[in-house]
Every structure is written in structure tokens, then in C-alpha cells.
Amino acid sequence: MLSRLEGARVGSRYGASLKSRSQLRGFLPVVCLAGRQSSEGGLGETSKTRFAIVGAGFAGLGVCWNLLRQLKEEQGLRHRGGKIEIDVYDAHGVGSGASAVAAGILHPLNTRGNVTWRGVEAMNETLALMKQIDRWRQEKLPNDGNEAILRQTGVLKVAKSEKDLERFERIKAERRGEIELHVVRGAEAATGRGDDCRGKAPGYMYTPHAYAVNSPKYLELLEGVCHSMAGEGRDVSLRLCKTLVPSLEMLEGQGYTTIIICAGAAVGTIKELRGKFPLRLSETFGVELETALSTKAVASPEDRGLLASIDCDPSLLGQTYVVKQPEDKAVLGAVHSEEQVDPEDALGSRYCHIADGLDDRAQVVNREKMMAMASRLLEKSDTIFPGLLQGYELSSVHCGVRALPPKSEEGRLPVCGKINDKTWYLLGLGARGLLYHAYLSKRLVDAILVEDESKLPQEVTRLTREGETGGRE
């Protein structure tokens, strides 16, 4: 079992992010580092609408941004009149859960290469949000440096067999008009010849519609844009409360109009919600490497025609994934531990820095276990992408807990809905937080403002409808 809170470390893969984050704070209007103690704005007071959001990862910040967007657009919230207060609670601060360690792959494909439920729509929503953030950044933070939050890389899904290639061809035909897909049948698979192809993939599917997101930078800017939007509103306040929420009762006692639970895999740390959602908690590890590798090398030389015309290295999807980052870095994921994970273990992602000599940190995060998981991941990746990993240096190992929702006909979809008259949730983003957070937080906020759960897609409200919030999967 992982050490609990005292063992959790929060960090950034990008040292520069932390620096610019503190610079950013210079103009943030209100930051409350302790929990709100005041009972001001109690139930009897009608002149205030008070929102509490629990969790400041992709989901919680997505909800916060959408609430503020509604205000800005003078719709929804504004007609209620009076003051609007939004308090975002996070035990360890913004981006301290799984979101902080997300490798950053944004694409709409599932593990079999098909387009996932509303995948293209959801991806476009994330892209639209990121573009707005980028515009805000250019306008308000012209000296913020050139660390991009989003790069279009495309993604390459390697086929393991002829059967995979046939499936890819079928998907390509079915999805024509929805998403651009290319299937490249390797020389060996096509002709049965080609010595250079030994150990290489028999072919692959490629789509340009995939992105690499710098997750820590994205979270930092999303927080910044939320504060900026709140600062523009006359009667709006936004506070970040770095406080553990042990129970719904604690929030109810503070007179919130609406409570929105975006607590990721740690939702069970809230007393009334422990064991209520059938989420499987998966302790997941990834590594960052210093490497000059080119992901195009997974295809044999004869099969690189399509890839040769692409400027960047596409991300690789297989049983493990590889995301090439700027400056000769790459992020690899993911392997999972088989240990029992408790919700408390999910409060705070963990880093083990190898290259920067921060041994004290390494001890805190259980260096032995992190290194063992890193070795397992590197070995597995070497089998899946033979010959790709050469001459690299391990920079860091990271770990977070993913909340995997139960399988449905549409795959593992996040869950979203209403717990009671004032409490809503967006949980179970699983391995697709980047894909679904913007899309679902927008729909959730729209549903909350008209107090109508049926405004949410029924595929994600299945737990409420089936009364399934009864325990772990």
C-alpha cells in the first residue's frame, strides 16, 4: 500500500511551470489557502448563489471555467441576480491529483482503434477551451514564455497482426467523413518479404487528429483564466481553498447553493461518498526520458512514406504509449500496480526525480517501488516497440491514481449526474480526462443551471438511473 498523505508529493515535470505559476499568482484576485470558516451567506440569504467545487483537476477546473463562462455570457447564472461565489476546494491545491501527471495524449480513439463515444465532439470541445486559454494568455501574459500547452502531433496505432490491420481498414471506412484515418499496410504484410521489417510492426493506423498537451502548464493557465474571468465580474468571487473536504456535511453546514464533486479517484475520502461509486482505482505509473528517439522508427523504412511528410513525431499507442516532447524528452506510460488502492492514496500524485539529484524527494515517494515500476514499463515498451528505446536517460518516474468507471456498451465512460437536490458529480474520467473534461463539464454546468439532470447525455447518467452508486466494481 502506498504511504498516505504524508508520502504524497506534488511536483511538475516542467520546472519552468512552477516558476511561472508563482508569477501568475501575482494578479489573482482572491486565493484562500485555508478553508472558509465563515457561515456568511447561509441558507436564508437569497442574494447570493454559492457554489462549492471539490477537486481542482481537469474536471473541477473545467466546471469552474464553465460556470464563469455562463456569467460572462450574461446567461444562466446572471438572471439569478445577487452575488455569485465559487469556492474550489482541493486538499493539495490545483493539479495535485491524476491531472498533474497525465502524459498529455489527447485523441478520440479507444484501445481497439475505433472512435470512442462522442470522441471527436469531445476532443473539439477540449481544443476550443485550450484555444481560448491560449488567446487569454497572449493578451494577459505576453511574457509567459513559449512553453506551448498544445501541439498537434498525430497519433500512430501500431498493428500487431493482420487481423488488426483488417479492423483498422474497417474503422477507416466506417468513420469516413468523421475523422481522417490512414491505414498503412507494411511492406512485409503486403508482400510477405522485406528483411528490414523484422521486429517492426506489420502496419499501422495514423490520424493527424491527436495532440500532446503539457498538462501542468494547462492546469496552471486554466486556473489563471478562471481567476481572471472572476476578476472581471462585478459581483463574482472565486476562491481556491486548499483544504480537505472530509464530508458533504461540512459543506452543507456552510450554506452552499450547489456542491459539485470532481474529486477523481479520491472521492471516497468524502465520508458520505465512500464506496458509493463503482469506480476501480488504478495506481498508474509513467516515466519521462531524455532521449533523441524518433517515434517514426516503429515503422520499417519502406513504410515511412506517409510519416516522412509529417514534421513532428506522432505519439504511439499500443499496450504502452509514447509521447515525444520538445527538447529531446519523451513520456512513456503506463503500467499499473496490483496493490489495493484506497481513496486516500489518490490525494496527490507522486514524483521520483532521478536526474536532478533530489534524493530526499525520491525517498519520500518510495523510490524502490517507483524504480521497479519504471523498469517494468521500459521492458514492456521495448517489447511492444522493439528497438525504439535506445540511448535514453531516465529523468523521472511519476504516479497517480486513475478512477476507472465500470464498462458500459459504449466502453468505460465517465459518470456524471445528481446525488441530491444540491449535489452533483463528474467522476470516473479514467484514462480520458483530457478528452472528456471540457465536454462533460460544459454539459454538467448547463444541467445544473436549469436544475435538470436530463440535460446530460444519458450514457453518462447511467449510475443515477440504474441506482448503481452502490460500491466498487
Ligand X SMILES: Cc1cc2nc3c(=O)[nH]c(=O)nc-3n(C[C@H](O)[C@H](O)[C@H](O)COP(=O)(O)OP(=O)(O)OC[C@H]3O[C@@H](n4cnc5c(N)ncnc54)[C@H](O)[C@@H]3O)c2cc1C
The footprint of ligand X (CB under 6 A) covers 54-60, 89-92, 96-99, 101-105, 244-245, 262-266, 269-270, 284, 286, 333-334, 347, 398, 400, 402, 429-435
To ligand X, the closest distance from the beta carbon of 175 in angstroms equals 20
DSSP-assigned states of every residue in 25-59:
HTT-S--BSS------S-TT-TTEEEEEEE--SHH
DSSP-assigned states of every residue in 292-353:
---GGGGS-GGG-HHHHT-SSPPEEESSSEEEEETTTEEEEEEEE--S---GGGGSS-EEEE
To ligand X, the closest distance from the beta carbon of 324 in angstroms equals 13
Instruction: Name the phi and psi angles at 288, rounded to 5.
Output: -115, 135
- Determine the number of helices (DSSP H) and then strands (DSSP E) in the chain: 13, 20
CB 350 within 8 A of CB 399: yes
Nearer to ligand X, 71 or 123 (CB): 123
To ligand X, the closest distance from the beta carbon of 189 in angstroms equals 29
To ligand X, the closest distance from the beta carbon of 244 in angstroms equals 5
Nearer to ligand X, 187 or 413 (CB): 413
To ligand X, the closest distance from the beta carbon of 467 in angstroms equals 23
To ligand X, the closest distance from the beta carbon of 93 in angstroms equals 8
Nearer to ligand X, 21 or 200 (CB): 21
Nearer to ligand X, 164 or 283 (CB): 283
To ligand X, the closest distance from the beta carbon of 97 in angstroms equals 2
Nearer to ligand X, 300 or 396 (CB): 396
Nearer to ligand X, 141 or 469 (CB): 469
CA distance 419 to 214: 33
Nearer to ligand X, 203 or 400 (CB): 400
To ligand X, the closest distance from the beta carbon of 109 in angstroms equals 12
First vs last Cα of the chain: how many Å apart?
A: 19
CA distance 448 to 434: 22
Nearer to ligand X, 41 or 333 (CB): 333
CB 95 within 8 A of CB 219: yes
Nearest Cα neighbor of 398 from 333, 337, 317, 341 is: 333
* Placement of cell 464530508 in the chain: 247
CA distance 114 to 110: 5
Task: Name the grid cell of 55.
Answer: 477537486
> What single-letter amino acid sits at 161?
S
To ligand X, the closest distance from the beta carbon of 177 in angstroms equals 25
Helix axes 433-449, 119-140, angle to 10 degrees: 90
Rg (CA), the chain: 22
Nearer to ligand X, 165 or 385 (CB): 385
